[in-house]
Structures are given as structure tokens and as C-alpha cells.
Chain A
Amino acid sequence: MNLRGWIDRWKLRTKFVLPISFILVCSILVVSAYLIERQEEGFHLGLETNGETMVRILAMQAESGVLFEDRQELEELLEKFSVFEDIRCAMIYNREGELLSQLGEWDDNSTVRLREINLSNDPEDASSRDFYVEDSAGAVFIEFNYPVMTRVEKLDRENLGITGGIDPSLTRTFVREHLGDIKLVLSLENVNKSIAEARLTAIILTLLVVAVTIVFIAFIVRFVTKPVKMLVDVTDQVARGDLSQRVHLKQHDEIGQLANTFNKMIGSLQQSRNEIEDYNRTLEEKIIQRTLELEDAQAQLIQSEKMSAIGQLAAGVAHELNNPLGGILGYAQFALEKMKKKSPGEFGDKEVNAFIRYLTDIETQARRCKAIVQNLLRFSRSRRETEFDDVNVNATIEDTVTFVEHQLHMSQIELKLETDADLPVIQGNGGQLQQVFTNLIINAMHASAPGTCITIKSRYSPALGEFGGAVELQFIDRGSGIEPENIKKIFEPFFTTKEVGKGTGLGLSVSYGIIKDHGGEIKVDSIIGQGTTFTLILPVQKPADASDTSKEKLGTQPDAQV
């Protein structure tokens, strides 16, 4: 992995902190090293100067001691210098090189001279030579050598007697005379110790400054990296699809601007996505709705095809049934006629009456079959104007009830009749009305739970209808009720809420047509879960134009009332 790639992988904070810290540490180290070096030089220079000064003072002080070889005096002199800790040793020699006095131990033979230093530019001090020396243990010293000089006045013998004293006008001649030598050796121990201390202090200070600086930089860098990290986090969440995230930054610098721009970007992105989602959702709803409508239309088409087939079948069946039915009706009537003509003596009165009753029953039921077949033909084929007759509504209801009694009993539903005995006879088609009643009772039965009750009420309303008032009938059940959205559809042809195959969807539309044929009205009131009431208004006198409505029987919608 190359360096660049490696650096590229660093985190932003590392990229900031590491190079800055590195540069900082390097700078501090260079500066410290320079300063320590300078300090070291200073220390050495100081020690050299001190040594030179001391050795010169010592040389001057030792002048008389060396001159007179007063060892006692020299001893005292050196004793005074012993307070200086830096002095390793001091030695005073006479002109012949004989050691006069000594402070400290020193062995010239065991040391090596490293280099010479030249402090004085004085040419007279040619004998003053200074050296850095190292002993066998590796310790470094500075060795100072300085001559002990004295001043000697040169007097001419001739002059001595003349002058008798010092004549200031005379030129006096002095000669410097070499008396001996001083060797002073200073130890670098203290200096080195000071240098080491300084170095240590410098290192500690450097580390401290570096540490504080790194912490400070890290703290400063947080102002940059924290919002950037926040941006990165939010971007990550946004990339995963959570567009509700926003970057919350209070700063007004470039990162703050970036965050604001980013927020705006996400905002518009979210808006676009919402729009697309809304569009998708409504599209889905539209598709579902259209699909339902299509399914509905298809189901209705199937129903209508089926009804058409059933209609053709019904027409064929009706045609085939009419001949046998004609036979039954005809023979019943024929037999009845003959029976009535019989003289009562031929059979017992009782038996004749019984036969007459049987035959009347056969005739009545055959007529009903005829009416049913005609109704069957009515919505399957061309319609003929309905034949109207006097109809006793109560009796028709009772006939209907006998017809459905068995089914009601099987469904455990009770049927209550609350009929008005004084109903007028109305103009109508008994068979068709019976068909309507049957339909309403069967529907009520299908909606009702076992143990509940269906009530049929009838009453005369003189105020209704054009002439002679009207008969009002109510079919009341305590069943499941009709959904409000279905109320308007129940009279439509082919509308059914029953399972496919259980209801044709024609019952109520045919009923509606029949009631309209009678110039009447059919209304429905329903509450979900409480039950449904169908109300029929049948005028006593059939209005003149009522029969015309038979043509639109399957095509119009009634006014349903919820």
C-alpha cells in the first residue's frame, strides 16, 4: 500500500491533528535543541571566563609567595579558593618547576588534552595556555596555565649614586620577570549537571506543550469534524432512504452553508418522493377501483348472459308446461262442472262437496301455475298487458304465506300478520302481487337470523292514491339491514348481495316493475344491524297510464329512501 493510499484512509481528524502535531513537535524540538546548544556554549564560556579570571587573580596573589617561596602564604592563598566547587585542583610552581603548593589531587599523566582554547589575545601571555582535558574515567576538565610574573626595575649602577632617590625626571625601566607557574583545573561536572537539568526541563516542557497543543488542536478540529461527521451520518441515513433526516447546525461558516444546502436538497428530494408516492398510491387506488368496476361489470355481464339463457330456457319450459297445465286446468274445470251437475243423490252430499273442494283447489293452484309461468315468460319474452282483476290483498298475503310457510319454519323464523280486516278490494294482478310478496318475504327471511320475527302489516290509507285511497303494506324484518351504498342499487336489475347462484338479482327489479304497473310505490328503510322495512303503496283504483310503465320495468330506478 502506498503512502498516499494509506493517508487517504485516515479519518479527517487524524488528517488534521497528526501533521499539525508532527510539525509542531519538530519545530519545538529544533528550537529546544538550538537553545540547549546555545545554553551549553554559554555555560562552557562562563566557566572558561571564570577559570581565566581565577587563574590570573591567583597568579597576581601568588606573586610574593612564589618570589619568596613562602609556602605557608601560598597554602593560605589556595585555601581561600577552595570555596569554589568548580575547582578540581590548583597548583603553584616555582621557576624551576618545583611544586610549591597544591589544592586537590591531579595527575597530568593520566589525562589527555582534547583541544586548546585561546581566550586571551594578549601576546605577552604566550605562556598562558588553556586546554580541555579528559581523564581516564572520561570526565572532562578545563586546564588553565598562567605564569606568575613580577616587575623588576632596572637600575643603572651609575645612576644609583647620583640620584640618591627617585628622580621623577629620570626614565625608569621595568622588566617583567617570570617567577613560576600556576595550573588551575576546573571540573565541568556542575556545568554538565546544569546542562542536563536544562535539557530535561526543555524535554518536559516540550512534551507538555505538545500535549496541550494536541488537545487544543483536537478540540479546535472538533468544530470542523463534528459537523462533518453529522453531515456524513445524515447523508448515510438519507442514502438508506430516510428522507425525514435534517442536519442541525448553528454555525454560519462554509460547513453551515453546506448543511443548509444539503437540507434544502433533501427537502426537495422528499417532496418529489412524496409526490411520486402520492401519485403511485392514487394510481393504485384507481387501478383497484377500475378493477372492481371491471369485475362488477363482468359479473353483471355474466349474470345478464345467464339471465338471458335462463329466460330462453324459461320460455321453452313455459311452452312445454302450458299444454300439461292446460290439461290439468281443463280437466279440473270439466270435472268440477260435471260434479256440480250431478244430482246430490248419486254420492253422499258430503263426498260431492269434498270432490268439489278438491277440484276447486286443483283449479286454483293450476291457475297459479299459469300465473307463475306467465310471469316467467313476462321477463324472458315479450310482455303482454297485465290482466287486472279485483284483488283481496289480505287473501293474497295469506296465500303467499302458505306458500313460504315451510321455508320460514325451516329457517326458524316467525311470521306475524297484522292485517287490517276492512281493506278495500284493489285493482291488480293477484299472481304478480303474490310474486312481489313472496320475493319480499324470502328476502327478509334470508336477511334474518333464526329466532327473529318478520312482521307484515296492512292498512287502508284514504289519503293516498288518486281515487279511493290506497292500501299500504309493510314487510318488517329484524335482520342484518342493507348497506347504505347498496340501498340505491337494490332495485337495479341483476344487483344482488347474495352468493352467485343463490339470487338472480331480478326479484326486486321485477317487483318494482310490478308495483309500478299497479300505479303504486315501493320504498325501503333500512338500518344496519337493526333491520329493513319495505313499504308498498297500492292504489285501490289503477291509474289510467300505469300500464305504460311496464315497458320500462327493467330499465328505471326507483327512488330509494334510506
Chain B
Amino acid sequence: MARILVVDDSLVIRNLLVEYLSDQGHQVDTAIDGQEGIEKALDGDYDAILCDLHMPRKNGYQVFTEVIAHRPQSRFIMTDSLPDELARMAQEAGAYGCLTKPFDLDEVTRTLEKILAVTKSI
């Protein structure tokens, strides 16, 4: 059981991840854009943050950098429709993974398990 924040401007993706991850036994919060994502990520203590890269009011890379600045131990999984420059930059800056939409749920689980294993080992 882990605390997970899903930051995505797409309602369907938020709903899917909330349902799927809750079903897996995780506690899931959501944010609907970058700004809210930063506020919630700094406010709460999450084991993993699933963050979309392309969003209104601050993009995923900005969310990542700002949160990491205050909470360096935060674990980010970036999600994106296009494997573009932002995804590369985020991974280079220390994001734990990058999922290309539309992603398989198995992929989400596998990546999440890797991160949680790292978190637990710390």
C-alpha cells in the first residue's frame, strides 16, 4: 500500500489510474494541472508521483523540477503522448521512468513496483 499522486489534465486518464491503482490497494490523490500538482506534491507525502508532461498551468517538467527542489526524495514517473524533449530532460534530471501514452496497465504496475522497491529500500 502506497500513497500515489496522479497529475494529469485528462479526466479519463485520472479516473483510470485512480480506479486501477486503488484496485491494487494504493491510496491515490489527483491533481488536474501542473500548479495543483506542485501544491499537492509539496503538501502531501507521496511514495510516487505519476505526472503528465503536457498540461496547462505549468508543465510536467516544471512540476518535477519545483517539487524536486523542495523534496529531493520525491519519485516521479512521467507520462507523455509524445516521447519528446521534455521527457528526455526529465529523465536526465532524475525522473524514475517515462511512460508513453497510451500505456499498458502492466507497464504502470511494473514501473511502480520498481520505484516502490527503491523507496522501501531507502
Contacts and interface: CB of A to CB of B under 8 A. Distances in A.
Q: Do A and B come from one complex?
A: yes
Interface of A: 315, 318-319, 322-331, 333-334, 337-338, 366, 370, 377, 381-382, 384
Interface residues of B, number: 20
Given A327-B15, A334-B16, 13 more contacts: A319-B82, A323-B10, A326-B13, A326-B16, A326-B102, A327-B13, A327-B102, A329-B102, A330-B13, A330-B20, A333-B105, A333-B106, A384-B83
Interface string B53-93: 01000000000000000000000000001111000000000
27 contacts: A315-B82, A318-B82, A319-B54, A319-B81, A322-B81, A323-B10, A323-B12, A323-B81, A324-B12, A325-B102, A326-B10, A326-B12, A326-B13, A326-B16, A326-B102, A327-B15, A327-B102, A329-B102, A330-B13, A330-B16, A330-B20, A333-B104, A334-B19, A366-B102, A377-B82, A381-B82, A381-B84
- Which 7 A-B residue pairings sit nearest by Cβ, starting from the closest? A326-B102, A327-B12, A322-B81, A323-B10, A322-B101, A325-B102, A330-B16
Contacts of B84: 381-382
A333 B81 CA distance: 19
Contacts of B82: 315, 318-319, 322, 377, 381
Interface of B: 10, 12-13, 15-17, 19-20, 23, 54, 81-84, 101-106
A377 to B, nearest CB: 6
A382 B88 CA distance: 13
A424 to B, nearest CB: 27
A330 B103 contact: yes
A328 to B, nearest CB: 7
B13 A334 contact: no
Contacts of A381: 82, 84
A314 to B, nearest CB: 11
Contacts of A330: 13, 16-17, 20, 102-103, 105
Given A315-B82, A319-B82, A377-B82, A326 B19 contact: no
B81 A318 contact: yes
Contacts of B102: 322-323, 325-330, 366, 370
Contacts of A327: 10, 12-13, 15-16, 102
A334 B81 contact: no
Contacts of A333: 104-106
Contacts of A329: 102-104
Among B10, B16, B106, residue most surrounded by chain A Cβ atoms (within 10 Å) = B16
Contacts of A331: 16
Contacts of A370: 102
A329 B13 CA distance: 10
Nearest to B79: A326
B56 to A, nearest CB: 14
A333 B16 CA distance: 11
Nearest to A323: B10
B39 to A, nearest CB: 23
A381 B82 CA distance: 9
Contacts of B106: 333
A148 to B, nearest CB: 171
Contacts of A323: 10, 12-13, 81, 101-102
